[in-house]
Amino acid sequence: MTELVRLGRAAPARRPARIAILGAPNSGKTTLFNALTGHRAKAGNYPGVTVDRREGDLHARFTEVPVRLIDLPGVYSLEPQSEDEAVAVRVLRGEFGEPPPDGVVVVLAATTIERALPLIVEAANLGVPLCVALTMIDELKARHGEIDVKALGAALGVPVLGVVGNRGLGIDDLGALLAASSDWAPSAALRGPAVADTPEQRFDWAYGMLERCRRKVPRTDHWTRRLDRFLLHPVLGPTVFLAFVALFFQAIFTWATPAMDLLSGLMDGLADWLLAVLPDALWTRLLADGVIRGVGAVIVFLPQIVFLFTVILFLEGCGYMARAAFVVDRLMGWAGLEGRCFLALLSSYACAVPGIMATRTIPSERDRLTTILVAPFATCSARLPVYTLLIAAFIPADPVFGPFTWQGLTLGGLYFLGTAAALVSAAIFQRGLRRGASLPFYLELPPFRLPRPSDILLGVWDRAKMFLRRAGTIILCVSIVLWFLLNLPRRAADPELGAAANQQAILEGSYAASLGRLIEPVFAPMGFDWRINVGLVASQAAREVMVSTLAQIYAHEDEAGEGLGGVLAGADERSGEPVLSRPSALALLVYFAFAMQCVSTLAVIRRETGKWRWPAFTFVYMTGLGWLGAWVTFLIATAAGA
């Protein structure tokens, strides 16, 4: 029978062998997957970075026959309790609309093998051939631990290889082993009486195995111990953290601005050059004003994006994220959430889309839904261009204390506002939603590891590409559509007036202006005029569009060459009134902190919850709060005479 099944499976020739990568969270599966396939999937030094199944072909240098590798989310056992664990188990059982894998490589971190070894027994129960990749053997040695890899292989009765995924050690051997998965023999040691049903029996079995291979438990890493004593200190820890965050926000202005000014000058120069060189036609203006100035206004924020992600990727790679979750867990508890919700919220500071996907690691349905609903409040990188533009224009750069200025503090305040909104909303939802089955929250704190600079550079490069791709697709499209809306209908130029005044007349009579005036009553309480309203409508597609739209609208008013921010903060040429008053600018900032203005986020909420009512609800309550917050801010700022 088995023979028949085997033949049956092998019959459709050239079907690649499929090998699943199974292991505990943060055991280094994704690093190994990347090393074996040449892919660049995101790996991080905290549990739960991979939440979905990911496939890639074993790199051709290891194999002549095609081998497909499947990277799975980390599991502690094959009795799943959260969505990401369920994905792993369903793939292994062949319940994912595809046959079960032909082999499983169990990834065990040599440093924490005691807790992970029982997983092998469960994997063996599936009846799939196994092999073991023992990762982090360099770290084990550095921490004075020991294990005899050969003896472990003999004890388990399956092939075992020691590897160091991020330095490529042992990867060639592992690649060759994976290419020959048909030779893996089923293990006698993992069958029958060895299979235990209580966790106690499984651990007893694991320790029995480890005794046979001279296992010496590693000591706590020296540096981790010292850093933890400092970073998790009741007083020093939070102080250092706050100082670091404040410095980070300040640096966005003091360090990234020169690079941004340079880019901004380049874009303006390019647009002016095109207008001068090309014939004065409609499409020249579309290219120069719509595309170069519009999209360019967003692209100039590339230095800020690069800086933000360098910091985020370093923190993720070194292991600080799990510590941050540990430190604020009490606060999350007050909001009715647990630490895994915090990790999902944390990734939302880059972008809410992966943040919402990361909620799959949350076992409780109710906690997961709450986290999905509040994650878009986290200050994502798309808000950064809008914040930076408005803060640089309206907030004085006067020093407050040491290197910190009002600008940096305002930016920090906006991040705080988003975070507070997320936590308060979570607390409200958790009281409103039905209580689900509760499961223990535990978090493994990995040792600190120094991320390789090349990993960070590659990660930042990927994020920069993503930012530019967004600028080149969604923002480009919206900019072009807006250009037409801002420049149509055409009207005959009045020879009495100059070119700028004629352009102004077209703008004032454009379709976009009519649209902006139509919704004026909605935003009149905050003092937004039709131009800001057009920006607000357009930025429903993506928040950065606000910047590109304003850049288009004010393209011809920048005669002093002071940039978009300067125009916004200056006075209107004809009326002499400010283009945007400071209370209105503050109101706009608060609106962006709260309002839901992202189509991709709404789409991912629909996908992850499976219902339309949750994206609809998120849109209504967040945008409502944005409007209310903006109005209150405007009132307070006006009263305070800002």
Partner 1 sequence: MDRTLAQFADSGDDRLVEIAEVTGGGPIAWRLREIGFCRGTRVRFVRRAPLGDPAMYELHGATISLRRSEARRIRVRPAVP
Residues that bind partner 1 (CB under 8 A): 76-77, 79, 81, 111-115, 145, 198-200, 203-204, 217-218, 220, 228, 232-235, 237-238, 325-331, 333, 338-339, 437-445, 447
Note whether 310 and 460 are within 8 A (CB): yes
Nearer Cβ to partner 1, position 149 or 541?
149
| Beta strand 399-401 pairing with 404-405 | antiparallel
CB nearer partner 1, residue 199 or residue 453: 199
- Which H or E element spans position 404? strand 404-405
In the chain, what is the greatest distance between 2 CA atoms, to the nearest angstrom?
A: 98
The answer to whether 245 touches 236, Cβ cutoff 8 Å, is no
Centre a 10 Å sphere on the Cβ of residue 214 and count the other Cβ atoms it contains. 11
Q: How far is the CB of 516 from partner 1 (least distance, A)?
A: 47
State the minimum distance, in angstroms, from the CB of residue 318 to partner 1: 15
What minimum distance in Å lies between the beta carbon of 440 and partner 1?
A: 5
292 close to 551: Cβ distance less than 8 angstroms: no
Angle at 252 between CA 592 and CA 480, to 5 degrees: 50
Tell me how far, at minimum, the Cβ of 271 lies from partner 1, in Å: 51
SS3 per residue for 225-237: HHHHHHHCCCCHH
Q: Which helix or strand (DSSP H or E) is residue 113 part of?
A: helix 113-116
Structure tokens at 451: 């991320």
Q: How far is the CB of 552 from partner 1 (least distance, A)?
A: 48
Residue 421: CB minimum distance to partner 1, A:
21
Q: Which neighbouring-strand residues pair with 68?
A: 18, 57
Q: How far is the CB of 147 from partner 1 (least distance, A)?
A: 11
Please report the sign of the dihedral spanned by the C-alpha atoms of residue 526, residue 528, residue 533, residue 536.
negative
Evaluated on CA atoms 465, 471, 476, 478, the torsion sign reads: positive
The distance of closest approach from Cβ of residue 368 to partner 1 in the complex, given in angstroms and rounded to an integer, is 16
CA angle 232, 234, 240 (to 5 degrees): 65
Which residue number, 218 or 626, has a Cβ lying nearer to partner 1? 218
Which tokens is 552 given? 């288009």
CA distance 142 to 559: 63
CB atoms within 10 A of CB 497: 12
Per-residue DSSP letter, 71: E
Q: How far is the CB of 322 from partner 1 (least distance, A)?
A: 8
Among 34, 9, 12, 173, smallest CA distance to 103 is for 9
d(CA 337, CA 359): 12
* Of residues 77 and 310, the one with the C-beta less far from partner 1: 77
Q: How far is the CB of 374 from partner 1 (least distance, A)?
A: 20
Q: Which is nearer to partner 1, 22 or 35 (CB)?
A: 22
Smallest gap from Cβ 387 to partner 1, in A, equals: 29
Length of the chain: 642
CB of 198 to partner 1, least distance (A): 7
Burial class, 590, CB count within 10 angstroms (exposed 0-12 / middle 13-18 / buried 19+): buried
Q: How many CB atoms lie within 10 A of CB 282?
A: 12
* Three-state DSSP state, 216: strand
Q: Which is nearer to partner 1, 79 or 559 (CB)?
A: 79
Closest by CA to 633, choosing from 594, 588, 581, 577, is 588
Least distance from C-beta 95 to partner 1, angstroms? 21
Shorter beta-carbon distance to partner 1: residue 118 or 516? 118
For residue 256, the minimal CB distance to partner 1 (Å) is 31
Of residues 40 and 144, the one with the C-beta less far from partner 1: 144
The residue (of 327 and 344) whose beta carbon lies closer to partner 1 is 327
Choice between 46 and 619, CB closer to partner 1:
46
User: Which residue shows structure tokens 């081998």?
Assistant: 67
Q: How far is the CB of 446 from partner 1 (least distance, A)?
A: 8
- In the bound state with partner 1, the residue whose beta carbon lies nearer, of 2 and 198, is 198
Q: In this structure, what token pair is assigned to residue 237?
A: 């820890």
Which one, 220 or 473, has the nearer CB to partner 1?
Answer: 220
- Whichever of 66 and 238 has its CB closer to partner 1, that residue is 238
Element (H, E) at 162: strand 160-162
Whether 58 and 37 have beta carbons less than 8 Å apart is answered as yes
* Angle between helix 582-594 and 613-639 (nearest 10): 160
Question: 514-537: buried (b, 16+ CB within 10 Å) or exposed (e) per residue?
Answer: ebbeeeeeebeebbbbbbbbbbbb
| Helix (H/G/I), strand (E/B), else coil: 17 | strand
Nearer to partner 1 by C-beta: 331 or 603?
331
CB of 140 to partner 1, least distance (A): 9
Contact at 8 Å (CB) between 105 and 111? Answer: no
Of 227 and 480, which CB lies nearer to partner 1 in the complex structure?
Answer: 227
Neighbours of 407 (CB within 10 A): 23
Q: Report d(CA 153, CA 542) in Å as an integer.
A: 53
Nearer to partner 1, 232 or 515 (CB): 232
